[in-house]
Structure 1
Amino acid sequence: MSHYFGRRDDVVRAVMEDDLRQGAEPLATLARPTGPFSTSIADAVSHVATGLRHGVGTMFSVGLTEGLRHAELGPVFLGSALEPTLAAIEARLTAHINAGDMRAVDPRGPAIALVSPLLIAFLHQHELGGSDVRPLDLDALCQEHTAAFVRAWGVSSAD
């Protein structure tokens, strides 16, 4: 390994960069709206939750473990995983803002608000062993979170 990569940090960087390459198609899917606001948000939440359950959660766990407070790997994790995820969600939300079915706001805050509870719940249940300590129905959380997000950010016909 050291022959090809040098330092351990270089191996971690290469894995993170490869994760970004492999995630290009799922991120492109996440960026595209899929119908009316409520349907599109439900689809986005489902897409993120499915990704977390099938490898993305572990990738985020490793990225946070290696990147927090690390001058080199923190920005690599941001650039290879967290920011591309947020940018994809922001693109979907921007399309809804432009269509007039989401409140006209900077989509960055709502993008963070959409993904954060899902990530924390996944880390709690799977990466930290919370399913043995205090189990959580992730599917129910996704449904409740979707409904709350749509109420908070959607434009109703009365608006």
Structure 2
Amino acid sequence: MTRQRSNRRTAIAGPAIIIVFALHTVMGVLAASPVLGEALADGWYGAMTSGLEVALWFLMTGFLGLATGLAMTALERTGRMPWSVSIALLVIALIGVAAAPVSGFLLVLVAAVIAVVQSVRLRRRRPSDEPETGEPPVEAVNPSESEGAVLGHASRTGEGRV
């Protein structure tokens, strides 16, 4: 029994971002658990206070980072990690590291460098350059030979008219 090779690419940068922001969210929840507990007990709606701002920052950026990681994972698996995504992540990480050198932005910087490397790697090996195994190549169809011929036949014979 031979195992067929999957065309699915390995995602690295996206899962790295997911891990970084999952840790970010967990740390935020643990650090602000008393304030979050109070806000939930009092009713979440309108609970924004100065004590909750930091917790809200951790939660919202954490969940946004998780969504970004999921999107990046999907992009990597299709073999299309755009430069715009990699460079934007790198710029965000560099700004964050410059503003807070000893922080989680160092982990984001590592993930951003991985994303840039993935963009370079995936750019060199374009999916359109690789033939699909087991599938016949797609041939261009001349409309006059397929649908056009049927439409032309129907108009001459009167078929298809209302």
TM-score after normalising by structure 1 = 0.26
Larger Rg: 2
TM-score after normalising by structure 2 = 0.26
Higher helix share: 1
